[in-house]
């Protein structure tokens, strides 16, 4: 994992000003297609009427709308746009974090908190661009966003899987699913 030193973090107001420029919308087919990279593989693993949390839903929650349309119950959380911390005290069959973890100032604490909210057998779906090597990192456009302060690699996700005794499924270049051990009451048989 690569971290930006804290002295280079934006203030909360500066960070929100960047996010306010995002024009994500549930009515945008291109954005829905983008989110389909995590929606499709995760949907295939869920039983009907599972309950989920979209962590870091942003100013235009869309993934939660897609899962609701597919028959699941959703909660959303975002520190700027949906800051109801009580949703982080509930338990879920699945949690999504799409283009979110790279913004976390304390990723270990936040991810452990999300993991504790998952039911046994639950799925944590994370979508973020990954560090591949030092050479690529030095020219990587993803580092140009001043709100991106930590960068995950496949080794980071392998470490998390070991740390949590979870199974890790690498879906594609920017999506991983981590499954909590224990019998899953809301997952489809595979």
Domains of the chain, earliest start first: 2-179 (3.40.50.150)
Q: Has residue 190 got a pLDDT over 50?
A: no
What's residue 187's pLDDT? 52
Q: What is the pLDDT of residue 182?
A: 75
* Sole residue written with tokens 């982080």: 88
Is the pLDDT assigned to residue 17 strictly greater than 60? yes
Task: State how far the Cα of 28 lies from the Cα of 44, in Å rounded to an integer.
Answer: 23
Neighbours of 82 (CB within 10 A): 18
Residues 6+ apart with CB under 8 A from 3: 149, 150, 151
The pTM of the full predicted model, rounded to 2 decimals, is: 0.94
Band of the pLDDT at 185, cuts 50, 70, 90?
low
pLDDT value of residue 184: 57
Count of Cβ atoms closer than 10 Å to residue 75 Cβ = 20
Q: Are residues 130 and 174 in contact, defined by beta-carbon separation less than 8 angstroms?
A: yes
Q: Is the pLDDT of residue 6 over 80?
A: yes
- Whether residue 111 is predicted with pLDDT greater than 70 in this model: the reply is yes
Residue 146: pLDDT band (50, 70, 90) is very high
Q: How far apart are CA 97 and CA 82, in angstroms?
A: 14
Q: Where are the alpha helices (DSSP H) in 44-80?
A: 63-69
Longest dimension (CA), the chain: 47
| pLDDT, the chain, mean | 94
């Amino acid at each position: 994992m690569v971290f930006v030193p804290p002295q280079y973090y934006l203030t909360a107001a500066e960070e929100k000003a960047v996010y306010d420029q995002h024009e994500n919308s549930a009515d945008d087919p291109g954005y829905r297609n983008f989110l389909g990279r995590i929606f499709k593989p995760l949907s295939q693993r869920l039983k009907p009427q599972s309950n989920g949390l979209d962590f870091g839903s942003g100013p235009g929650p869309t993934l939660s709308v897609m899962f609701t349309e597919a028959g699941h119950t959703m909660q959303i959380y975002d520190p700027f746009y949906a800051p109801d911390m009580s949703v982080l005290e509930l338990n879920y069959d699945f949690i999504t974090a799409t283009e979110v973890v790279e913004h976390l100032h304390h990723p270990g604490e936040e991810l452990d908190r999300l993991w504790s909210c998952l039911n046994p057998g639950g799925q944590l779906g994370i979508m973020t661009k990954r560090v591949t090597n030092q050479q690529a990192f030095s020219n990587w456009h993803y580092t140009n966003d001043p709100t991106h302060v930590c960068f995950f690699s496949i080794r980071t996700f392998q470490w998390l899987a070991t740390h949590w005794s979870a199974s890790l499924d690498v879906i594609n270049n920017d999506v991983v699913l981590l499954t909590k051990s224990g019998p899953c009451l809301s997952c489809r048989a595979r």
